Amino acid sequence: MRDHAGQHKLYFLADLIGREGTPVTVLVPDLEENRAFFADKPHVQTCFYRSGNALADAWRKTRVVQEATWSAIWLVGVGLRSYLLRGPRVRNVPLIKDFDEFPSMIESFGPFRRAYLKWIENRMVSQAQGITCASAFLEVSIRKRRPDIGNKLLRLPVAISADEHRIDPDLVQRLRQSAAGRPILLYVGSVSRFYEDQLDEIIQLAEVLRRRGSQAQVHIAGTGPDLEYFKAKAAAAKVGDSLEFVGYVRRQGDLAAHMEAAHVLIFPFPATPFNLSRCPTKAFHYAAANRPVVTNMTGEVASLFGTSALYYPEHNIEALADCCHEALARGHGFDNGIPFGTLTWEGRARQFTDWLAVQGWLPNGSELHAPS
């Protein structure tokens, strides 16, 4: 996986668990970003494999896990590549499956791909001795399929690294100077047709603001394979300087500065089946920024922000613009009331290892954390 919540979950949990002294090994594809992340983390034993087709990857993983003794095996990702074949040496080792989402619920996928994904999801749910999942929707769905799972299912939302949210004051100042006193409404995300509905709403918002004579400027922070396609859409909508494509923004350091410079953060998140199933990392970055958020009352996003966000009816662009103006009127001194510590991987690592300890799935000698 690349640029995926599961990738970052694996990174940060392995790092934090290893720092606590618990033996941890990761098995990841031989990619530059994987080597870069683990290069300075000797407390994590890292095994790399050359990725090929899905069957070859599944076979390589199966062979590697047969070569050692494990207290438990945690599988991240959905698909044949993440499906572990049972062999004699791991037949009695607990398999823990992590679900960030159910990709079979992505409506843009074709019927055959969705059927395959649903089949592999069901296989993984039935195979696992333990399950971690990121949303309430997933927990309810999995418990219906596995009424026997009991306390061997852990709700483990995504999170952010505390190091990612370090604000560069010089960059904040440059961004505010560039805006020349105009309020900034910020949307963060990949510029891809996969998110076309969200990006279309952002372009339409800029169009409405321009028509209303608003001084607010909408920024899209992010890049992707369809950047020119959406720039052409914006040009066709004649949004002028009410919309700016900021381009690529680094997660560590620069993203926090862009959010600090913004007055309002925007997150269209309609109640599609896929959105209900997932727990988007972007929401946790937004929460850490402690800025007014305008979004839809959907799933884990609404659960995270509660009454601190402003909610608009799905796809109602006029209402979206109204909420943005209301958010701007809140002015300085806004506080979403969400403790930063509840948003970070440090808290998730304690939650995860405590749960593993209760199940007896930590290596011998590992200790249960004191309640926090």
Every domain of the chain and the residues it spans: 5-159+344-359, 163-338
| Mean per-residue pLDDT over the chain, rounded | 92
The CATH class that applies to domain 163-338 reads alpha beta
Q: Which CATH architecture has domain 5-159+344-359?
A: 3-Layer(aba) Sandwich (3.40)
What's phi and psi for 74, nearest 5 deg? -110, 120
103/137 Cα distance (integer angstroms): 13
pTM: 0.91
Q: For position 368, what pLDDT does the model report?
A: 40
Q: For position 80, what pLDDT does the model report?
A: 87
Instruction: State pLDDT tens for residues 138-164.
Output: 999 999 999 999 999 999 999 999 888
Give the 3-state DSSP-derived string for 98-123, with helices as H, strands as E and coil as C.
Answer: EECCCHHHCCCCCHHHHHHHHHHHHH
The strand ranges marked E within the chain are 25-29, 45-49, 73-76, 95-99, 130-133, 153-155, 184-188, 217-221, 243-247, 264-267, 293-295, 310-311
18/349 Cα distance (integer angstroms): 10
Whether 163-338 and 5-159+344-359 are alike in CATH topology: the answer is yes
**Distance set, CA 295 to CA 27, 203, 228, 312 (Å):** 37, 15, 26, 6
- Mean pLDDT per segment of 10 residues, for the chain of length 372 residues? 75 95 93 94 94 88 86 91 81 92 92 94 95 96 97 96 91 94 95 94 97 96 95 96 94 90 96 93 96 97 97 98 94 88 95 96 63 34
Give the 3-state DSSP-derived string for 220-239, with helices as H, strands as E and coil as C.
Answer: EEECCCCHHHHHHHHHHCCC
